[in-house]
Structure formats: C-alpha cells, structure tokens
Amino acid sequence: MEELLDFSLPGVLLGVGAFVVVRYVLTGFFTVDQNERAVKTSFGRAQRLLTPGHLENPVASSLAEAEKERYRFPQLRVIPPGGPYFKWPWERVHKVSVATQTVNMAFDPESRSANQGGTVLEAVTKDQLNVGLTGQLRYRVSEQNLYAYLFGVRNPIAHVMGFFISILRERIANFEAPPAPRALPLPEDATVSPVAAAAEVSLGTNVSINDLRKNLRDINEHMQRECRASGARYGMVLDSSLITGIDPPQEVESALAAINTAHNHVSSDISLAHAEADQKIVQSRRAVEIETLRAHAEVEPLTAMAAQLADLKRQGSGALAAYLRNVRLSLYGKARQVILEVKR
C-alpha cells in the first residue's frame, strides 16, 4: 500500500500542476473588442492611475461646486481594445461596452411594466394638464469615468434614467413659452371680423400643450444642456434626447382641436386684414404719384412760358410787344370770327 502511494504521488503532483497551468495560466489570457474597454481588479481593488481624479477632466466641468466633493472618483487604468492580455488568478477583468445605445425615454430598468410598458412617459404641465411624452434617449458609457459606472453606483442606467426623467418633468412643469413677436398695428381703416376679435381675446393666455409642441427643439436643447453632468455623476453620457410627441389626455384632445381651429381662424383674419391694409397703402401711394406727375405736367408749360416772357422783357419793351403781336396774329389765323373793340 505504501509502495502504491509512493508510486502515485508524483502523478498526483503532476496532475495538480497541469490543472493549475490549464485553469489559471492558459485561461488567463483575454482580449478586448473594438467597442469595449476593460478594467482589472486585484483582490477586488481596481488598478488606479497616479493622476488627479476625474474632476480635473472636461467631463466634470458641468458639475456644480457643491457636487464636486460628492462625485470625486479616482481615475482607473483603462485597457484599450486589442490583446491578448494576461491576468493572474487573483485578478478579475471588467469589460464595458462604450458603443452608443438608444432607449425609449419611458424605459424603466427596474420595472418593465411602468410607464405603460415603457412606451409613454407622463408629466404635468404648468396648468395642471397631464400629458404623455414619447421619444428616444441616446447614451454611452464614459471612458473617462469608468469608476463611477463600475463601482460608484449599483445600477447606473436606473440612476441615469431617473436623473433624466426628473429634469424633464421639472422642465415641463415650469415651461413658459417665449414672448411672441409684437404684431404690427393695423391701419385705422382695416377691419377684423367680430368672431376673430373674440377668439383673439380668448387666446390671450397661452395654451401650454400648444407651447410645448411648438417649442420641442428648445426643450430638447435644454435637456441636452442640463444632462451634461450625468457623465461625472454616474459614468454615463447622455449624447442627445429627442422628444418626438406630446399628447394630451383624450378628453382634452377635442377641446384642444377646437382651440387650434379658432386660433387658425384668428390668424387667417389677421393676415387678410394686414394684406388688405398693405394693398390700400400701395394703391394710395400710386395715386399720389400719378397726381403729382399730372401736376408737374400742367405746371411745366406755364413755367417755361414765364421764363420766356421774362427773357423777352429783359430784351426791351419792343420785343415783348412784337411777341404779343405775333401771338395775336396766330390767334387771328385760327379764329373764324373776330370781335374788335372800337374806340370812340
């Protein structure tokens, strides 16, 4: 029995060595894909760089001063795409995809049934109207702040979606339409129908749902500015948000359509009134120009005759008398009957 144990001990050691080589050495090589980045941890601690934290990077420039101390994360050694790389048995590799991804803005990673199955996000406007928002959100993992994504928060996508939705709902709740450009005053003789005037008075206060729909681009730009801090907070950068639809409740849709119809009618009447006033102004200008030209045409011969008479007067009284005589003779030649006054 002892001889059997002595004989098998080298084989056992050889088998254990082979297992260690295959299990921990040959399988210790790994590669990183083109759209991935990797971080190694040794006994649970990530490899860090001897540089200041990510607050010195441009990704943290959007943080407020009160937030910088809270979100102070170290800079990690990031393994770029390529390989093969090697890790020891006590090391672990964390791979992260840095490709840009698209998700519905109503998506809830913790409850798939929330927000009508992740399709419509509800919000309340300033006039207490519940609206449904639809759109998409583009995000990617920040390579400059992988510590926050891997170790800073438990579920980064849930934090980012909550951060985005809170900013969006705050914007919808406090949104006010920019002041409309001041309309030109109508001429005194321009008239607007009584229906249009009444509708214009009724629309004196802005309808929030219409303002939101007309200013979707401004809302998207506002969301992009306000969400820049997500990269420094959670290690995920919101590239852009695209709100594509804002729908009111069904019971409000018919009333909103009637208001829009009245508003369009008012705009049409005002445009017609402006066009009619402009046409009258143009016609008046043309009439003034025509009468001015006629007056100049009538005055011009008289002015020329006065200049000619003044020139004859400067040459002497005889020249003027001769001119008058020639004028009389030409008139006598044209006249059929002449009545002369006889001196007694």
CATH code of 128's domain: 3.30.479.30
Q: What is the pLDDT of residue 20?
A: 64
Question: For 15-20, what is the mean pLDDT?
Answer: 67
Question: For 103-122, what is the mean pLDDT?
Answer: 86
Which residue, 96, 97, 114, 94, is CA-closest to 105?
114
Q: Is residue 71 part of a domain?
A: no
Q: What's the total number of domains in the chain?
A: 1
Q: Is residue 90 part of a domain?
A: no
Q: What is the pLDDT of residue 308?
A: 76
Q: Is residue 132 part of a domain?
A: yes
- pLDDT surpassing 80 at residue 252: no
Q: What is the pLDDT of residue 8?
A: 66
Print the domain residue range for 242: 123-280
H helix runs in 21-135, sequence order: 65-68, 114-118
Q: Is residue 247 part of a domain?
A: yes
Under the banding of pLDDT at 50, 70 and 90, the label for residue 307 is: confident
pTM of the model: 0.59
Q: Is residue 285 part of a domain?
A: no
Q: Is residue 36 part of a domain?
A: no
- pLDDT surpassing 60 at residue 153: yes
Write the DSSP assignment of 134-146 as a string of letters. Answer: EEEEEEEE-GGGH
Q: What span, in angstroms and rounded, lies between the C-alpha atoms of 44 and 91?
A: 8
Q: Is residue 244 part of a domain?
A: yes
Q: What is the pLDDT of residue 24?
A: 64
List, edge to edge, every strand of the sheet that includes 45-46: 45-46, 36-42, 91-97
Write the DSSP assignment of 4-38 as a string of letters. Answer: HHHHHHHHHHHHHHHHHIIIIIGGGEEEE-TTEEE
- pLDDT surpassing 80 at residue 324: no
Q: What is the pLDDT of residue 111?
A: 84
Which residue, 260, 168, 174, is CA-closest to 223?
168
- pLDDT surpassing 80 at residue 64: no
Distances (CA, A) of 222 to 123, 154, 281, 298: 16, 28, 44, 67
Its sign, for the CA torsion 33, 36, 42, 44, is negative
Q: Is residue 48 part of a domain?
A: no
The per-residue pLDDT for range 177-202, each reduced to its tens digit, is: 766 555 445 445 444 444 344 333 33
